[in-house]
Amino acid sequence: MPVEPAVPAGLTEHQTAAWELAREFAQNEVAPHAREWNAAHRVPVEVFRRLGEIGLLGLTIPEEYGGPGLDATSLALVTEELARADAGTSVAVAVQNGLVASPILRAGNEEQKREWLPRLASGELFGCYALTEPDAGSDTASLRTRAEATGEGWRVTGNKMWITNGGIADVFVIFARTGDPGAKGISAMVSGPGDGLSVGAEIPKLGLHTSSTVELAFDAFPVPRSGLLGAEGEGLKLALATLDGGRITVAAQAVGIARAALELAVSYATDRQAFGGPIARFQGVHFPVAEIAAQIDAARLLTLHAAQLRDAGRPHGAAGAKAKLFASNVAVRAADVCVQTLGGYGYSAEYDAERYYRDAKITEIYEGTSQIQRMVIARDLFGGAAR
């Protein structure tokens, strides 16, 4: 039973059109297949390419580089609708826009933008963001992957872990140490595949079974000097700025998962008969669902507020952290309420409740754990006193 989302007044014509296009695509081309894809752990690459054809894969890429040139608000709306149908599918869009196109747009030179962005927008190429390492997750400044200078550029050696889209990627945004230990010794690079790159097998995961997640191993992987993204030694600043925007899309993904869980709980409780009528009439059933409905609307508005700040060019790091912290928690609680509402059926793969339960958890972990979001918010409030 669909539950109409609460969205603020004042959406532009383009934002509304993108939202409606995503909703139609998700309902017709994703939702009917999501259970089958997840059960088979299949990454639906052909669907990602179709998203490129209709302009949703590279949503924030400007028109001059082959994209529709929309904004963070549009991306949040699109991500929510796709996540409502299948969380794993929404990840491909979030990564392509927020983690790959965004740093190229922010720090790339004109040649790099012309080389990569049009093909990312069309779906000809998929990208990944190679930051996290086996021993460097939240503590990004401690990454060990090194890029040794050569006459023609660099040779990158090291391992990257939990790389979303890594198994299907043609474009790699890589963060490696080109200088001394610490934050100032890290640089960002962009490259296609080549000798010295090994892509690991798909990592078995609790959820997001339609999303590619792998380990990448670099062994003297050559990156030409033209692959340097921004200034040497400024890579960590670029990585953190990129994550500021990426957290907004994760918050939108969490809202989409929560909304799907809510809709299933409402539909089931309306139809399920017990003790002479629908179980929706019992406070023990409808009070938790009602509370989740209110929290989803709050999470969506927090998310869109952060997106609108980003679109306006205003500081949005703390706003994005608040949105991700709150929305991811709501997604986990909504999935739990959904499972509980369905009872034994909620624990069965016969219904999608268990998938929502599994998919929701990752939103509290990737692109900054909930603990990291609290640190970001606290530092915004207390400044240096929180360090």
> What pLDDT does 141 receive?
82
273-274 vs 127-130, strand pairing mode: unpaired
- The encoded tokens of residue 216 equal 């990448």
Residue 365, pLDDT above cutoff 90:
yes
Residue 211, pLDDT above cutoff 90:
yes
pLDDT, tens only, 295-311? 999 999 999 999 999 99
pLDDT, tens only, 223-235? 999 999 999 999 9
pLDDT classification of 340: cutoffs 50, 70, 90 = very high
Residue 138, pLDDT above cutoff 90:
no
> What pLDDT does 1 receive?
63
- Which runs of E-coded beta strand occur in the chain? 127-130, 146-149, 153-164, 171-177, 186-191, 197-199, 213-224, 228-229, 273-274, 277-278
Return mean pLDDT, the chain. Answer: 94
pLDDT, tens only, 168-191? 999 999 999 998 887 789 999 999
> What pLDDT does 384 receive?
81
Per-residue b/e over 240-277, b at no fewer than 16 CB within 10 Å?
bebbbbbbbbbbbbbbbbbbbbbbbbbbbbeebeeeee
> What pLDDT does 295 receive?
97
Q: Which long-range contacts link 274-282 to residues 24+ away (Cβ below 8 Å)?
A: 279/341
174 phi and psi angles, rounded to 5 deg: -115, 135
Residue 9, pLDDT above cutoff 90:
no
Report, as an integer, the average pLDDT of 14-28.
95
Question: Catalytic site residue 367?
Answer: yes
> What pLDDT does 128 receive?
95
Q: Which CATH superfamily, name and number, covers 237-386?
A: Butyryl-CoA Dehydrogenase, subunit A, domain 3 (1.20.140.10)
What is the C-alpha to C-alpha distance for residues 245 and 313, in angstroms, rounded to an integer? 12
Report, as an integer, the average pLDDT of 47-69.
94
pLDDT classification of 385: cutoffs 50, 70, 90 = confident
> What pLDDT does 137 receive?
75
Q: Which of the residues 133, 354, 364, 367 is marked catalytic?
A: 367
> Where do the domains of the chain lie?
13-126, 128-233, 237-386
The domain defined by 128-233 folds into Butyryl-CoA Dehydrogenase, subunit A; domain 2 (2.40.110)
What is the C-alpha to C-alpha distance for residues 125 and 102, in angstroms, rounded to an integer? 15
- Do residues 143 and 136 make contact, with C-beta atoms less than 8 angstroms apart? yes
The domain defined by 13-126 folds into Butyryl-Coa Dehydrogenase, subunit A; domain 1 (1.10.540)
Question: Is the model's pTM score more than 0.85?
Answer: yes
pLDDT classification of 387: cutoffs 50, 70, 90 = confident
197-199 vs 213-224, strand pairing mode: antiparallel
